[in-house]
Amino acid sequence: MSTMPPLVLISGPEAILAERALSSVIAEVKHLDPDVERINVVPATYQPGELVVHASPSLFGGRKLIVCESLDEAPEDLYVDLLALLAGPLDDISLVVLHRSGPRGKKVLDAMKAAKARVIDCPAIKSDRDKDDFVAAEFRRLGRRATPEAVRALVEALGKDVRELASACNQLVADTEGTIDDRVVEIYHGGKIEATGFRVADAAVAGQTGEALRLLRHAIATGVDPVPIVAVLASSLRTLVKVGSAGRGSSAAVAKHVGLAPWQVDKARRTINAWDGPSLGRAIQAVAAADVEVKGGGRDPVYAVERAILAISDARASVRRG
């Protein structure tokens, strides 16, 4: 019969990964010992010596699972008691500690690692590349195949919220059959603000001015605020700058260097040849001006976005004019 390591450290700021890691550890302990007693140590209300009481042998025996969350916010008394607990034998105890980030609690972390704790990393999911990898892994975890285009479409539609990405993956798997492609994602999430903004931006940077304006007017008519559309325009132009300045190399290598997903590098490379440094600079300045106007600095936010799209088109056309 396998045995549960007495020490587990769940380290990193991504809450959804930490929650899953904790649930997995709890399930593992309960599988090995269904009668295990779970004890939660709450740093915000911790009293000196509380951990010693929890770790003391029970009158009726049995294993204990002690879960200490938010070690990075714990009081000094908890650090002292944890170090004392780690210095002795952990008989019939499994200790799980969660630490998001920062220097607080470092002595406890070092002591756990020195004691050969199992470490589960939960790194932040921030860049588009990280989100792309997360979504692809979610579909694999759920046992469904999703095309790279579907992954891309879902990240574009819901890219700001990792929990929403996870929920969307679950929804698509539950509600559909077969391979999940970008058409399926479009049906479920094509109306999202981020997706609308990306379609406007894609058309604008590709020189499809009329299409960009049509998409913008449709978005406004359906209640989309101009602010996120301007944000996506700015993001798309910054992506062109990043990829354009990264030089040659495989999509994967460039993506890793600039913090994007490989498909974003490929997409930018299909567009970047129509631009140069000065034209991108003018386009970015125009979008920056629109950003000020849509956030209260101008009288007509919609017209400000339209003007930015026209300025992007003119900047792109200036490359051909020489």
The CA distance from 298 to 296, in Å, is 6
The CA distance from 310 to 142, in Å, is 44
Q: Residues near 89 by Cβ (< 8 Å), separated by ≥ 6? A: none
- Evaluate whether 182 touches 147 at the Cβ level (below 8 Å): yes
209-221 and 193-205 helices cross at what angle (nearest 10)?
A: 160
According to the model, what pLDDT value does residue 194 have? 63
- Evaluate whether 196 touches 224 at the Cβ level (below 8 Å): yes
According to the model, what pLDDT value does residue 183 have? 85
pTM of the complete model beyond 0.75: no
Eight-state DSSP code of residue 146: B
Nearest to 222 by CA among 293, 302, 297, 160: 302
According to the model, what pLDDT value does residue 298 have? 66
According to the model, what pLDDT value does residue 1 have? 39
The CA distance from 30 to 302, in Å, is 57
Query: Which amino acid belongs to residue 322?
Result: G
According to the model, what pLDDT value does residue 41 have? 94
Give the chain's radius of gyration (CA, Å).
26
Domains of the chain: 7-121 (3.40.50.300), 128-189 (1.10.8), 193-321 (1.20.272.10)
According to the model, what pLDDT value does residue 322 have? 60
Sites in the chain below the pLDDT cut of 70? 1-4, 59-61, 191-195, 297-298, 321-322
According to the model, what pLDDT value does residue 255 have? 87
Question: In 70-166, at which residue ranges do the beta strands (DSSP E only) sit?
Answer: 93-99, 118-121
